[in-house]
Amino acid sequence: GEDVEQSLFLSVREGDSSVINCTYTDSSSTYLYWYKQEPGAGLQLLTYIFSNMDMKQDQRLTVLLNKKDKHLSLRIADTQTGDSAIYFCAENRVSSGSARQLTFGSGTQLTVLP
Amino acid sequence: KAGVTQTPRYLIKTRGQQVTLSCSPISGHRSVSWYQQTPGQGLQFLFEYFSETQRNKGNFPGRFSGRQFSNSRSEMNVSTLELGDSALYLCASSLGGTATGETQYFGPGTRLLVL
């Protein structure tokens, strides 16, 4: 398909782990990204992974990449109420010639319950 | 280092008018990209500028245009506004742009409402 796909909603209890999944489209995307957006704000880069990696860990964040299935996931350990936000995955897809553009998923609204 | 700044933050226009939005990238960044965010279409790429040249363009009508100045600041213009142009317009800057995969840093956005 043409769209980067994410589930729309995820609810977790404070202290639990959250896993947000994403299916991207272009096997030649060289970088995959996770951004966070809080209400009324722009996008904050959380982490990214280069396409030749399987996993990247950054404090509470773990990114897993399955290139065969074009599947990307973001795990947030010990989720806190401050993690409540919309999470976007993105790929730097080839658009025309050698040009690339960031293509985003629809975003997953993460709600952390106390 | 100061982040990406966008002005104005909020704007109300009426149909048929035109609007100009401004973006100042992080110091030293030469690439600026623009995105439109709406509830229905999500985040969509508008265009990317690098060293005053448009490097890439998304699927938007010609009413959407942009430019970049020698100090890397960028403006985007929307002419003959339509109701559907109501959106959050985000700009992002990076050193080398999307082709290099470098991190893009986003500004807070300009929220445009077209009445």
Give the pLDDT confidence score for residue B98 in this predicted structure.
74
Name which of B6, B56, B98 to mutate to probe chain A: the one with the most chain A Cβ atoms within 10 A of its Cβ. Answer: B98
Inter-chain contact A31–B101, Cβ cutoff 8 Å? yes
Residue B1's pLDDT band, with cuts at 50, 70 and 90, is low
Predicted confidence (pLDDT) at residue B13 exceeds the cutoff of 70: yes
> In this structure, are residues A101 and A31 in contact, taking their beta carbons and an 8 Å threshold?
no
Size of interface A-B (CB pairs under 8 A): 59
Whole-number Å distance between alpha carbons of B72 and B52: 7
d(CA B24, CA B32): 9
pLDDT in tens, B46-100: 999 999 999 989 999 999 999 999 999 999 999 999 999 999 999 999 998 777 7
Structure-token pair, residue B108: 């807070």
Tens of pLDDT along chain A (114 residues) come to 478 999 899 999 999 999 999 999 988 888 999 999 998 888 999 999 999 999 999 999 999 999 999 999 999 999 999 999 999 999 988 877 767 888 999 999 999 999
Q: How far is CA A36 from CA A39, A60, B37, B110, in A?
A: 10, 14, 14, 18
Using the Cβ of A92 and the Cβ atoms of chain B, whether some distance falls under 8 Å is answered with yes
How many angstroms separate the Cα of B57 from the Cα of each of A30, A55, B60? 19, 32, 8
CA distance A31 to chain B (A): 6
Which residues in chain B are closer than 8 Å to A88, comparing Cβ atoms?
Answer: 43
- Among chain B residues, the shortest Cα distance to A86 is held by B42
CB A74 within 8 A of CB A89: yes
